[in-house]
Structure 1
Amino acid sequence: MTGNDEKEKEALRKCLAKEFETKELGRLKYFLGIEVARSSEGFLISQQKYVTDLLRKTGKLAFQPASTPIDINKKLEEASESPAADREMYQRLVEKLIYLTHTRPDIAFAVSVVSHFMQAPKEAHLHAVNKILHYLKGNPGRGVLFRRNGGMSLDVYTDADYAGSPIDKRSTLGYCTFLGGNLVTWRSKKQNVVARASAEAEFRAMALGICELLWIKIILEDLEIKWE
């Protein structure tokens, strides 16, 4: 619960307490694996404990960290000649990594790639998942910082590769939106159709990015927040 009227918040708390069993936990610090740290500069959301627990369960705490979450020069394919991996274990790992992208946009693309092989994973795909885990080992406390800068400009950046998937030749798009210079939403997603030119792939990425911007614009208007 949040707001700028302390009396109204207290009245709402009392109203809720009449109908439900409630407990006042104070300022938000930890919720569903997401940690919130405040300072005079702003606040940081991260999942350090979640990452550490994941590395401990997978036995990766003692491994050397990787500098990148994925090898860009090596395209993941179906790898039909590679031995099959444990599908349930692979799916559990990828699902945990998907949840981690809530505070780690730096692994969004890599997780998007490995999630394409959930139904029939091979050892080559499991190696790619392990590479992401090794990358997380390097900085488990990294997250998203929201600064107190007072600005309310709304910006979106988009990009796309061209026929990046060696399996179906579809392109992968990405976008990120900033409100007041702070990153608020991001996504990496394979496009639904095969682009016939790099310009078409870029245009589809721009269209999706603008849709996201318009959605945020509607939310801000509903909250009566002025934006640039």
Structure 2
Amino acid sequence: MDEFEMSDLGMMHYFLGIEVVQSNAGIFISQKKYVGEILYRFHMQNCNSATTPAAFGCKLHKDHEGKKVDNTFFKQIVGSLMYLTATRPDIMYFVSLISRKGTKSNLLGFTDSDFAENQDDRRSTSGYAFMFRTSVITWSSKKQPIVTLSSTEAELVAATACTCQAI
């Protein structure tokens, strides 16, 4: 506040759909209001609650004779549930399970490095990005821990870091 003009709005209570409760015991986050909005949006406000994300031993299988669903509506449901995993990591497996579309699942990795671009210590910077289907799921850009003697060695260090992440 000494350097820039700003206002103190007090303790944070709600941010990007996440409720924040701060007390002496710690900081607690939840998405109770967001869950209610999801249930209302998808006409499920009268559904039965459950303590676990899915029944034990529940297996999904393709219903070849089932009815077609609205692809856009389904993607909206999955997207809403994906944002919910910020505070509910226990549903991540099931959200990932229902979000699978099609039979082909490609993981693509890209890597690159510069060679000795840091003029102070002559270390290179490595970078990689991984895509699953059409979305980037992880990426990194960081200075290499060693000084490489050639661009080939810098690329090898970058490829090694990328391979470790892939595995």
TM-score, with length taken from structure 1: 0.42
Structure whose residues are more often helix by fraction: 1
Q: Which one of the candidate residues 2, 9, 12 is aligned to 1:28? A: 12
The residue identity in structure 2 corresponding to 1:64 is: N
Q: Moved runs in structure 1, 4+ residues, more than 6 A?
A: none
* Partner deviation per Cα, 1:114-161 (whole Å, 9 max, x = no partner): 1113x6xxxxxxxxxxxxxxxxxxxxxxxxxxxxxxxxxxxxxxxxxx
Who is 1:64 aligned against? 48
**Residue 90 (1) aligns with residue 77 (2):** no
Q: Which amino acid aligns with 2:4?
A: L
Shift of 1:108: 1.1
Which of 16, 28, 36 is the equivalent residue of 2:4? 16
Q: Does 1:116 align with 2:100?
A: yes
- 1:50 paired with 2:38, answer no
**Secondary structure of 1:91's aligned partner:** helix
The structure showing larger relative contact order (alpha-carbon pairs under 8 Å, at least 6 residues apart) is 1
Mark the structure with the bigger radius of gyration.
Answer: 2
How many angstroms apart in 1 are the aligned matches of 2:7 and 2:73? 37
CA distance 1:26–1:44, shift in 2 (3 Å): same
Cα separation, 1, equivalents of 2:61 and 2:4: 53
Which residue number corresponds to residue 142 of structure 2?
none
Identical counterparts, % of pairs: 36
Give CA deviations for 1:98-119 in whole Å, capped at 9, x if unaligned: 00100011211111111113x6
Pairing of 1:97-112 with structure 2 (within 5 A): 97-112=81-96
Q: Output the CA distance in 2 between the equivalents of 1:66 and 1:28.
A: 30
Q: Please list every run of 5 or more consecutive structure 2 residues that lacks an aligned counterpart in the other structure.
A: 105-163
User: What root-mean-square deviation, in Å, do the aligned CA atoms of Structure 1 and Structure 2 show?
Assistant: 2.6
Counterpart amino acid of residue 57 in structure 2: N
Amino acid at match of 1:47: Q
SS at match of 2:82: helix
Distance 1:116 1:71 in 2: 19
* Partner secondary structure for residue 15 of structure 1: coil
Aligned positions, number: 107
User: What is the CA–CA distance in structure 2 between the aligned matches of 1:54 and 1:111, rounded to whole Å?
Assistant: 14
How far the C-alpha of 1:48 sits from its partner, in A, is 0.9
Q: What is the CA distance between 1:93 and its match in structure 2?
A: 0.7
Q: Does 1:79 align with 2:52?
A: no
Deviation at 1:72, TM superposition (A): 4.2
Deviation string 1:26-65 (CA, Å, 9 cap, x unpaired) is 2221110011102222121111111111112222222221
Quote the Cα distance in structure 2 between the aligned partners of 1:79 and 1:102.
Answer: 31
The 1-side partners of 2:86 and 2:4 are apart by 29
SS in 2 for 1:16: coil
TM-score with structure 2 length normalisation?
A: 0.55
- Please give the alpha-carbon distance, in whole angstroms, between the structure 1 residues aligned to 2:14 and 2:31: 9
